């Protein structure tokens, strides 16, 4: 009997990073998380694998005076890999990384270095990433973790992924309204086709 694969078959393993979010789900996610960033404006970085659906939804919900940057994690942007991207600090970073565990942790740690002093990082990840043993848990810095419904990635061909969003505030202060958010993000488009 085969082990659990989270909906990923052996033929899919080379394309694990191709996991996208439907635009309506992206909009609901960033609206739910808005208490974490509603008083922040400035530089926004979308460091997502793919077309930046989460970043576009975030930009539409944030003050129009914010400056938006998109750095695709699969394709090099201007010949630059995310781990080579340095110097600039961002107030909000949202990331749906390639879902290969060996590269997710270095990306996560590097994005932490790109946050401004009052910045916030939203990092969407497979739950396995967050609880693979006590050593992994000690390496992860985040104040809140939100679970997403299991079938959120069904339109992407991954119906059984258990995933969530780690939220890290660089100043280690969670806004009062955000501290009251429940740990499960309810979405209306679950188990529906694209």
Please name which of 14, 56, 21 lies closest in space to residue 148, comparing C-alpha atoms. Answer: 21
Assess contact for 95 and 122: CB atoms under 8 A.
yes
By CB atoms closer than 10 A (0-12, 13-18, 19+), residue 2 is exposed
Place of tokens 């789900």: 25
State the pLDDT at residue 75.
46
Using CA atoms, how far apart are residues 118 and 170, in angstroms rounded to an integer? Answer: 6
For the record, the structure tokens of 72 come out as: 């695709």
Q: Is beta strand 43-46 parallel, antiparallel or unpaired with respect to 90-95?
A: parallel
State the pLDDT at residue 147.
94
Return the beta strands (E) in 142-189 as ranges: 144-147, 163-169
State the pLDDT at residue 162.
85
In order of their start, the domains of the chain are: 22-175 (3.40.50.150)
Q: What are the pLDDT digits (tens) for 88-112?
A: 899 999 988 776 656 778 888 899 9
How far does CA 187 lie from the centroid of its chain?
A: 16
State the pLDDT at residue 67.
65
Q: What would you report as the CA-atom Rg of the chain, rounded to the nearest whole angstrom? A: 16
Give the full edge-to-edge strand order of the sheet including 163-169: 67-70, 43-46, 90-95, 115-126, 163-169, 144-147
State the pLDDT at residue 175.
95
Assess contact for 7 and 159: CB atoms under 8 A.
yes
State the pLDDT at residue 107.
86
Query: Which residues face 121 on adjacent strands?
Result: 93, 168
Using CA atoms, how far apart are residues 82 and 146, in angstroms rounded to an integer? Answer: 24
State the pLDDT at residue 7.
45
Please name which of 16, 10, 48 lies closest in space to residue 153, comparing C-alpha atoms. Answer: 16
State the pLDDT at residue 10.
45
State the pLDDT at residue 71.
56
CA dihedral (172, 175, 176, 178) positive or negative: negative
Which residues of the chain are modeled with pLDDT < 50? 1-15, 74-79, 193-194
State the pLDDT at residue 31.
93
């Amino acid at each position: 009997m085969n082990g659990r694969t989270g909906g990923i078959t052996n033929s899919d393993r080379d394309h694990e990073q191709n996991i996208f979010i439907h635009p309506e789900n992206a909009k609901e996610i960033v609206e739910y998380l808005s208490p974490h960033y509603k008083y922040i404006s400035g530089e926004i970085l979308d460091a997502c694998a793919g077309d930046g659906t989460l970043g576009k939804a975030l930009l539409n919900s944030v003050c129009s005076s914010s400056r938006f940057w998109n750095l695709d994690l699969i394709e090099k942007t201007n010949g630059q890999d995310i781990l080579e991207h340095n110097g600039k600090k961002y107030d909000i970073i949202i990331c749906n990384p390639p879902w290969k565990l060996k590269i997710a942790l270095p990306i996560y740690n590097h994005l932490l270095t790109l946050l401004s002093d009052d910045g916030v990082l939203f990092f969407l990840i497979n739950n396995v990433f967050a609880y693979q043993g006590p050593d992994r848990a000690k390496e992860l810095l985040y104040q809140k973790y939100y679970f997403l419904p299991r079938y959120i990635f069904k339109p992407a061909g991954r119906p059984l992924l258990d995933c969530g969003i780690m939220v890290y505030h660089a100043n280690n202060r969670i806004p009062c309204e955000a501290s009251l958010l429940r740990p499960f993000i309810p979405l209306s488009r679950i188990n529906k086709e694209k």
